[in-house]
Amino acid sequence: MVKFLLWCLLLVFCWPLALGALVVYPFVWLLLLPFRILGIAVDGVLGLVSGIILLPGRLLRAV
């Protein structure tokens, strides 16, 4: 909601820049999408490694 209100404010003060941002935003989103997917994959791998490393401690704590 805040982004939308800031965009509306930009539209009032400088409408060519706001319309340019509206056109460029989808391309930037598509450009950054692989980095988001990579971040999700790295987070999953690190979670798996953390789980494997901490598993003996959890098993000993459960006994």
pLDDT tens readout for residues 6-54: 989 989 999 999 999 999 999 999 999 999 999 999 999 999 999 999 9
Residue 18 buriedness (CB in 10 A; 0-12 / 13-18 / 19+) = middle
Specify whether the CB–CB gap between 21 and 10 falls below 8 A.
yes
**Domains of the chain, residue spans:** 25-63
Per-chain mean pLDDT for the chain: 93
Q: What is the pLDDT of residue 41?
A: 97
> Distance (Å, rounded) from C-alpha 44 to C-alpha 7?
34
3-state secondary structure of 14: coil
What separation in angstroms does the CA of 48 have from each of 18, 29, 63? Answer: 43, 28, 23
What distance in Å separates the CA atoms of residue 47 and residue 56, rounded to the nearest whole number?
15
| Residue 62: predicted pLDDT | 82
**Tens digit of each residue's pLDDT (9 = 90 or more) over 3-13:** 899 989 989 99
